[in-house]
Amino acid sequence: MEHDDWPSLALADWEPTYLTLHRWTQIVGKVALSNAPYVNHWWHVALHVTSAGLTVSVPCDRRFVTMTFDLDAHRMIVHTSDKRTESFALEPMTVAEFYDRLMAALGRLDVRVHVWPVPVEVSDVTPFTDDRHHAAYDRPRVERFHRALLSIERVFEIHRGRFGGKCSPVHFFWGAFDLAVTRFSGRTNPNPPEDSVMREAYSHEVISHGFWPGGEEPIFYAYAVPEPEGLRRAKVEPQAAHYDETLGEVVLPYEAVRTSAEPERMLLDFMESTYLAAAQLAGWDIKALRAPVLIGRTDRAAPPVSRV
């Protein structure tokens, strides 16, 4: 079954645009990193899905600077709190040209920027200033991607709202180019990673869910850090979900969700069942971490699933 709000996102159909857009978001993310006050687990540098596209807003000196990928109007917009705006068209251009245009726009707005102009979490680490081989921008494919993000964001927000403990925002990490939401048990991680970036991300016990469009097929994923014994064999929903030994995550193909009769319900079932499986195995206090039931609270778009 096809759903307009859940379009096909096969990587083969838009890989050149994906690779280019990934690097553009990293440039914007690094600008945020150079200016935003620190927030635990790197939450201060993530982008956020909006009705227009992807955006990040950071304080800079005595102003706020908002950078938005408007994926409807296909423009890169930089707006400051003192009512100044610069923008340029999102169109086929090299990563180097995007970098130059953004830095010039920021300069005209008197925004000071110091970034390390090298991409991360990718195999090709050509500096942004020298990258003239990633230069694709397919408008219809970008619009499909944005439409999918909006549908996924809705479900992720419902999942987030069912948790009463510490939980991340639903946010888009430009490093891996994935949308994610993370729940915390409240306990510290007894064996945090040695890498300083990952050590901060996983300083505490987490169960995380996300969407990644960049593999051979787009996937939803779930993982726990530290991973409890037995998670690889745990029974989760729906039937199309399975543990991927290479990734070390439970995965669910996006294609299975988008072609199902009820995409929202299937995705929620996946998120709830993997959370419960990991939380039970890790000894989380599931009852204490439930969100309170509020008067007037409804999940009309996706009815609640059963829980322990």
Domains of the chain by residue range: 11-130, 139-282
Which residues on neighbouring strands pair with residue 6, listed in sequence order?
Answer: 3
Q: 160: helix, coil or strand? A: helix
Give residues with Cβ within 8 angstroms of 271, minimum separation 6.
155, 156, 159, 209, 220, 222
pLDDT at 304: 46
pLDDT > 70: percent of the chain: 91
Residue 308: which pLDDT band, with cuts at 50, 70 and 90?
very low
| 54-98 pLDDT per residue, tens | 999 998 888 999 999 999 999 999 999 999 999 999 999 999 999
Q: What is the pLDDT of residue 45?
A: 85
Q: Are 182 and 78 in contact (CB under 8 A)?
A: no
Q: Which letter does DSSP use for residue 306 in this model? A: P
Angle at 203 between CA 241 and CA 214, to 5 degrees: 40
Complete edge-to-edge strand list for the sheet that includes strand 85-89:
48-49, 53-60, 63-70, 75-80, 85-89
Q: Average the pLDDT over 171-177 and give the result.
A: 95
Question: Are 181 and 169 a contacting pair, CB within 8 Å?
Answer: yes
Closest C-alpha to 144, from 301, 9, 303, 308 = 9
pLDDT of residue 301: 47
**In the 8-state DSSP scheme, what is residue 80?**
E
Identify the bridge partners of residue 243 per DSSP, sorted by sequence position.
250
Instruction: Give the pLDDT band of residue 294 (cuts 50, 70, 90).
Output: low
189 pLDDT above the threshold of 90: no
- Region 271-279: mean pLDDT is 97
Q: Which amino acid belongs to residue 268?
A: L
155-162 LR contacts (CB < 8 Å, sep 24+): 155/264, 155/267, 155/268, 155/271, 155/302, 156/181, 156/209, 156/211, 156/271, 158/268, 158/299, 158/301, 158/302, 159/209, 159/268, 159/271, 159/272, 159/275, 161/291, 161/299, 162/272, 162/290, 162/291, 162/304
Is residue 101 within 8 A of residue 88, CB to CB? The reply is yes
Say which residue, 28 or 202, is predicted with more confidence. 28
pLDDT per position as a tens digit, 8-25? 999 999 999 999 999 999
> Per-residue confidence at 121, pLDDT binned at 50, 70, 90?
very high
Does the pLDDT at position 33 exceed 70? yes
* Phi–psi pair at 88, nearest 5 degrees: -150, 160
**The pair of three-digit structure tokens given for residue 275, joined into one six-digit string:** 């959370």
Distance between CA atoms of residues 121 and 26, nearest Å: 10
pTM of the model: 0.91
